[in-house]
């Protein structure tokens, strides 16, 4: 969003126009709304801003629910914002630690600050981008004096009046639409600065889930988070925000229900075992936290092959930390053989999963002949240990 669009938007007329336009879900609806508003004589900057917000509010509903109906966004800000259900859990950790005030450094459009203020914390929200800070101020205005918003660099903020910090370093190039990921040494503020702060104050640092584990300090709790099948973030907790005896945590949220597994360190995997009646796919947070072994022991399962994050078992057990599949048929990973099995079972709809094999699922799907009313999952992977491991296709059903 350009400054001219923001200026046009943050007026009584601009905000009223967004409500009048209503939600715009499709490209066709956006185009029709632009034509209508331009024909009515509204200036281009205002039309662009209003229509853009009406479209972003539709997309934002998945993260913010009904709150999205009164919020303002940039495209990049929405993409990078924490989902409200996750932000609420972060906020709860501050409250449960007995903390009453928090500085949200790198607040973006205000998603985390919204969650913090929503449970009664006093919040100082800070962002280095002027436009983003203005949007955060609008989004957080309903909380009145409990939230203050500043346009400033995180490094320049006086933290003397807060008890703790939530820090989301800028990990992408600057901009409000298309952005690109940057290297840790280019983040703002830098990772070294964030870790130094975490050694002095209780801090939660939001990072990408793929962060090099060698960079994680020994004295923090590392919590990986998966939501509805996607691993969305890693949070490093310090001070009273880190739970005693916990250095590794996997938080898995499915359909609004949350489950967590914790450990004092990485845990060892279970040995490779013979393919059983069930295959289990651990959630990404469990894999990243290196807690697969604990989940395997709960399921009476072993690894399907060396270095491949699938588990297998004969026991009819499952867990919130995995997606479980009952194996129908095992076959070589050859298209004619697979098509014969699909034909025999009348499979017309197929989900393809793969680990440990160099296969493009989209290209592989085009080679399959799908006819029938049944559906199944096709798992392409290696099975077995060492050089004897075989590339196999497993026709399976979700449990």
Q: What per-residue confidence (pLDDT) applies to 388? A: 85
- Please say whether the beta carbons of 289 and 224 come within 8 A: yes
Instruction: Take residue 259 and report the two structure tokens written for it.
Output: 């489950």
Q: How far apart are CA 54 and CA 130, in angstroms?
A: 22
Single out the residue of 339, 272, 344 nearest to residue 308, CA to CA.
Answer: 272
- Please say whether the beta carbons of 207 and 235 come within 8 A: yes
Q: What per-residue confidence (pLDDT) applies to 85? A: 92
- Please say whether the beta carbons of 286 and 250 come within 8 A: yes
What pTM was computed for the model?
0.89
Q: How far apart are CA 187 and CA 165, in angstroms?
A: 17
Nearby residues of 327 by Cβ (< 8 Å), 6 or more positions away: 275, 276, 277, 278, 279, 394, 395, 396
Q: What per-residue confidence (pLDDT) applies to 181? A: 58
Q: How far apart are CA 27 and CA 247, in angstroms?
A: 46
Residue 167 β-bridge partners: 105, 205
Q: What per-residue confidence (pLDDT) applies to 321? A: 98
Single out the residue of 341, 316, 345, 343 nearest to residue 393, CA to CA.
Answer: 341
The number of C-alpha atoms within 13 Å of 357 and in the hemisphere containing its C-beta is 22
Q: What per-residue confidence (pLDDT) applies to 37? A: 93
- Please say whether the beta carbons of 131 and 74 come within 8 A: yes
Q: How far apart are CA 125 and CA 152, in angstroms?
A: 10
Q: What per-residue confidence (pLDDT) applies to 174? A: 58
Write phi, then psi, for 37 (nearest 5 degrees). -70, -40
Nearby residues of 32 by Cβ (< 8 Å), 6 or more positions away: none
Q: Where are the beta strands (DSSP E) in 230-277?
A: 230-237, 248-254, 257-263
Buried b (16+ CB within 10 A) or exposed e, 221-251: bbbbbbbeeebbbbbbbbbbbbeeebbbbbb
Instruction: Report the share of the chain in percent with pLDDT over 70.
Output: 96
Residues of the chain with pLDDT under 50: none
Q: How far apart are CA 15 and CA 312, in angstroms?
A: 55
Q: How far apart are CA 181 and CA 173, in angstroms?
A: 6
Q: Identify the residue whose tokens are 């962060």.
A: 211
Q: What per-residue confidence (pLDDT) applies to 182? A: 62
Dump pLDDT digits (tens) for 112-167. Answer: 999 999 999 999 999 999 999 999 999 999 999 999 999 999 999 999 999 999 99
Class of residue 185 by CB neighbours under 10 A (exposed 0-12, middle 13-18, buried 19+): exposed
Sheet holding 374-383, edge to edge: 302-305, 308-313, 278-282, 322-332, 390-398, 374-383, 347-355
């Amino acid at each position: 969003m350009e400054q001219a669009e923001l200026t046009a938007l943050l007026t009584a007329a601009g905000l009223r126009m967004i409500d009048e336009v209503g939600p715009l879900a499709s490209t066709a609806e956006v185009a029709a709304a632009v034509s209508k508003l331009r024909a009515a004589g509204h200036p281009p900057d205002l039309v662009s801003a209003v229509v853009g917000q009406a479209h972003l509010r539709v997309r934002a509903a998945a993260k913010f629910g009904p709150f999205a109906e009164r919020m303002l966004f940039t495209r990049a800000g929405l993409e990078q914002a924490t989902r409200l259900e996750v932000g609420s859990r972060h906020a709860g950790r501050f409250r449960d630690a007995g903390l009453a005030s928090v500085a949200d450094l790198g607040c973006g459009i205000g998603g985390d600050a919204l969650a913090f203020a929503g449970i009664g914390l006093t919040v100082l929200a800070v962002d280095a981008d002027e436009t983003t800070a203005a949007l955060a101020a609008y989004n957080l205005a309903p909380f009145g004096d409990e939230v203050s918003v500043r346009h400033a660099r995180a490094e320049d903020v006086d933290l003397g009046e807060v008890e703790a910090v939530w820090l989301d370093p800028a990990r992408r190039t600057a901009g409000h639409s298309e952005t690109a990921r940057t290297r840790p040494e280019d983040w703002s503020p830098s990772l070294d600065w964030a870790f130094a702060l975490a050694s002095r104050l209780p801090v939660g640092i939001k990072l990408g889930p793929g962060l090099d584990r060698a960079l994680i300090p020994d004295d923090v709790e590392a919590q990986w988070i998966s939501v509805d099948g996607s691993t969305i973030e890693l949070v490093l907790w310090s001070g009273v925000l880190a739970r005693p005896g916990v250095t590794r945590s996997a938080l898995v949220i499915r359909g609004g229900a949350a489950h967590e597994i914790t450990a004092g360190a990485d845990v060892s995997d279970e040995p490779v075992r013979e393919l059983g009646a069930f295959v289990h796919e651990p959630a990404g947070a469990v894999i990243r936290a290196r807690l697969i072994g604990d989940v395997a022991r709960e399921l009476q399962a072993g690894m399907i092959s060396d270095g491949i994050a699938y588990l297998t078992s004969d026991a009819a057990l499952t867990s919130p930390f995995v997606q479980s599949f009952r194996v129908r048929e095992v076959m070589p990973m050859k298209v004619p053989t697979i098509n014969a099995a699909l034909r025999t079972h009348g499979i017309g709809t197929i989900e393809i999963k793969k680990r440990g094999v160099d296969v493009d699922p989209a290209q592989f799907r085009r080679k399959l002949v799908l006819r029938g009313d049944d559906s199944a999952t096709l798992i392409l992977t290696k099975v077995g240990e060492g050089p004897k491991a075989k590339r196999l296709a497993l026709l399976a059903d979700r449990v």
